[in-house]
A = this chain, B = another copy of it.
């Protein structure tokens, strides 16, 4: 086996459990909306209401919810708290999921700050950087280790997935180490195509590409509106 590649904007892998990739994204969004509704005291919610909040169609909501194994009923739709819990259980069966961050530059630090203590189940347990000066420091409550310690720390801390925020040139090397250490998921911010085994899920989030895409469509829109005026 080797190079289970698919790559690009999104998923590099076939499918897992038969749940579509996009559905997972939406579910994690619904979860957030459901938490907010629950806190507002909403007891039940209909697919069309949740759809309006999420900006999708009601049919999409119902279809997505078939995966999580919780049924509503025509009387009251879905019970908010129960649905939220069901989605929660579905998305993260484990108590906590441990993550690592590799590359403590500007973006890496911003992500650490952004996540620090914010998420109940996802915790960044270790950071790594090739700059030896950064090793030993603690940023946002997260210990920073030298790159050499990666494999050992990943195993010790039971780290399942990692975030790559190193320069493009180092990304493949980092991905190899992570993969060797047993990491099964990578969120890659480096503008590079990662070659990994088929047992590692890779999600690419290249900020430059995202901006270029938005710029492209914005320009197209502007041109058409100029023509119109």
Q: Which residues of A contact B (CB under 8 A)?
A: 5-9, 12-13, 16-17, 21-22, 24-26, 28-29, 32, 53-56, 91-94, 97, 99, 106-107, 109-111, 113-115, 118-119, 121-122, 160-161, 163, 183-187, 191, 193, 195, 199-201, 203, 205-222, 224-225
Q: How many copies does the complex hold?
A: 2
The answer, among B203, B211, B221, for a CB contact under 8 Å with A184, is B221
Partner of A218, one of B118, B183, B225: B183
- A214/B193 in contact, CB under 8 A: no
Q: Is the CB of B55 within 8 A of A193?
A: yes
**Nearest CB in chain B: distance from A118 CB, A:** 8
Query: Shortest beta-carbon distance, A24 to chain B, in Å?
Result: 5
Q: Are A26 and B9 in contact (CB under 8 A)?
A: yes
Shortest C-beta distance, A182 to chain B (Å), equals 8
Residue of B nearest to A90 (CB): B216
Distance between A50 CB and nearest chain B CB, rounded to angstroms: 11
B residues within 8 A CB of A55? 5-8, 12, 193, 195
Q: Which chain B positions have C-beta within 8 A of A17?
A: 220
Which of B6, B109, B185 makes the CB contact (< 8 A) with A215? B185
Question: Interface centre among A53, A97, A163, by most B CB within 10 Å?
Answer: A97
Give the docked Cα–Cα distance between A59 and B64 (Å): 31
Q: Which of B111, B209, B214 contacts A29 (CB 8 A)?
A: B209
Taking CB atoms, residues of chain B closer than 8 Å to A217 are: 13, 16, 24, 184-185, 201
Q: Is the CB of A208 within 8 A of B119?
A: yes
Q: Are A221 and B5 in contact (CB under 8 A)?
A: no
CA distance A38 to B192 in the complex (A): 17
19 A-B pairs (CB sep. < 8 Å): A9-B26, A16-B221, A21-B213, A24-B213, A54-B193, A92-B212, A93-B219, A106-B109, A107-B110, A107-B114, A114-B207, A115-B208, A122-B211, A160-B215, A161-B214, A161-B215, A185-B219, A185-B221, A187-B211
